Amino acid sequence: MGTHNYNLTEQFEFTGKAKTLSIIAIVVGIAAIGYGFSAEALHERTFANLLLMAYYFACVCMSGAFFLAVQFVAQAGWSASILRVPQAMAKVLPIAVVILIVVMGLGLYTHNLYHHWHADGLTDPSSPNYDKLIDGKSAFLNVPFFMARQVIFLGVYSIFALLLAKLSNNEDLHGGLNSYRKSFKYSCIFLVIYGFTTPIFAFDTVMSLEAHWFSTMFGWYNFAAMWVSSLATIAIIIILLRKSGYMSWVNNSHLHNLGQFIFGFSIFWTYVWFAQFLLIYYANMPEETVYFYIRFEHYEFWFYLNLILNFLAPVLLLMDRDNKRQENTLLAVSIVVLIGHWVDYYQMIMPGTVAEHHAFGFIEIGIALGFVGLFTFTVLSSLSKKPLIAKNHPFLQESLNHHL
């Protein structure tokens, strides 16, 4: 056991360049939304982008809570000193949830989103719009039940996220093992709920944009995407904090572990992506291939870019042990993975909304930047409220001495 002289009350100060840049990004985002709503023809595209980024924002934050729960349930020691970063992400989840629900509600109300299953006459046999398939699914895909599911799922995730953050706060104040034991118990419950409900959450939010098509792999495919993008976000925040002089206790072995996580779950993402693709390709049934047909016809560039950024880049760049331990390489790969999952969500959401009229311009970039700014602002301000290390965590010594 080495002895260390780390400042265990170190606190992040959210000022200066980070604050200015995130506010500028938010302003750019608001400008992009304003521009998107200035012309009737751009409404659907704007809504699709808002859904994309709101979904991305919520997924990254809820996977922050998932990260915390996984660490508690695994009784992991290595991560004890970095838990405040996913905690800050988890604490922002309620904000993300409100934005996502507002976007979905407005999209449904104005018929810009989910018009595939939410339009007049789709379930009325006497109407010319009658759609037998949608009618058959209407017991599940109807607006009240849809919104109720969203509110309940996201509400439960938020409650558990805040609960885990609160328990960690109690641990700081009172010490002892009581908070840890409670965190363990609530994490177990949370993981079970999360595991069963995230696929349904992904079916609702993204898959129902193309309501005729369905895939049972879709939920896990989205779970892999949100989990790996969240891991990349955690790595980026930690590396940037380290570069600006905070969290001196984070050593190469911690980065190595995060790198292994990103590497492993990028492969897992590819695995579920491919499992979905291969079955559809091999069976070649029209009602299933329609999904990839539109992506090959109109999104070929994005389709291949998605695989390059999310599979080839992390696998080739993070395969070597030394690369995982180098903060600059890990930072670069994490950024590539984050952009890659934007591309991933882009080609999940756009074909079901704007279809062949998709574009990549100010609205896409602006809204993405706006949400990145919002995420940075909210997460960093919640990070600055508490010390950067949970000083009474029972495994803290193990984490400070972590060595691979």
Q: Hey, what's the torsion of the CAs at 275, 279, 281, 284, to 10 degrees? A: -160
Q: How far apart, in Å, are the Cα atoms of 182 and each of 228, 357, 361?
A: 27, 51, 48
What is the x/- site pattern for another protein, positions 320-339, by CB under 8 A?
A: -x------------------
Confirm or reject binding of residue 285 to another protein (CB under 8 A): no
Q: Which residues make Cβ contacts (< 8 Å) with residue 74, sequence separation at least 6?
A: none
Q: Taking contact as CB under 8 A, which single stretch among the options 9-17, 93-101, 272-280, 301-309 is the one that binds another protein? A: 272-280
The SS3 assignment for 122 reads coil
Here the tokens at position 361 are 């311009």
Query: How is 252-276 classified by DSSP, letter by letter?
Result: HHHHHHHHHHHHHHHHHHHHHHHHH
Nearest distance from residue 5's CB to another protein, in Å? 21
The SS3 assignment for 11 reads strand
* Nearest one of 219, 237, 260 to 331, comparing CA atoms: 237
Q: Taking contact as CB under 8 A, which single stretch among the options 83-91, 280-288, 306-314, 386-394 is the one that binds another protein? A: 280-288
Nearest distance from residue 323's CB to another protein, in Å? 12
DSSP 350: H
Do 337 and 229 contact (CB within 8 A), yes or no? yes
Owner of token pair 């996580």: 261
Confirm or reject binding of residue 277 to another protein (CB under 8 A): yes
Nearer to another protein, 185 or 403 (CB): 403
User: What are the residues facing 387 on neighbouring strands?
Assistant: 11
Nearer to another protein, 292 or 302 (CB): 292
Nearer to another protein, 230 or 257 (CB): 257
Q: Which of 274, 288, 391, 394 binds another protein (CB under 8 A)?
A: 274
Q: Taking contact as CB under 8 A, which single stretch among the options 146-154, 158-166, 204-212, 278-286 is the one that binds another protein? A: 278-286
Q: Which of 37, 281, 296, 304 binds another protein (CB under 8 A)?
A: 281
What is the x/- site pattern for another protein, positions 300-319, by CB under 8 A?
A: -------------------x
Nearer to another protein, 40 or 322 (CB): 322
Nearest distance from residue 270's CB to another protein, in Å? 10
Nearest distance from residue 281's CB to another protein, in Å? 5
Do 295 and 264 contact (CB within 8 A), yes or no? no
Nearest distance from residue 319's CB to another protein, in Å? 8
Site for another protein in 120-139 (CB under 8 A): none
175 backbone φψ class: left, alpha, beta (φ>0; ψ -120 to 50)? left
Do 323 and 330 contact (CB within 8 A), yes or no? yes
* HSE-up of residue 293 (Cα within 13 Å, Cβ side): 9
The SS3 assignment for 3 reads coil
Do 157 and 145 contact (CB within 8 A), yes or no? no
Q: Taking contact as CB under 8 A, which single stretch among the options 12-20, 128-136, 138-146, 275-283 is the one that binds another protein? A: 275-283
Burial 2-21 (b: 16+ CB within 10 A, else e): eeeeeebeeebebeeebbee
Nearer to another protein, 274 or 302 (CB): 274
Nearest distance from residue 403's CB to another protein, in Å? 7
Q: Which of 16, 126, 128, 282 binds another protein (CB under 8 A)?
A: 282
Nearest distance from residue 6's CB to another protein, in Å? 20
Nearest distance from residue 51's CB to another protein, in Å? 30
Give the footprint of another protein on this chain (CB under 8 A): 274, 277-278, 281-282, 284, 319, 321, 403
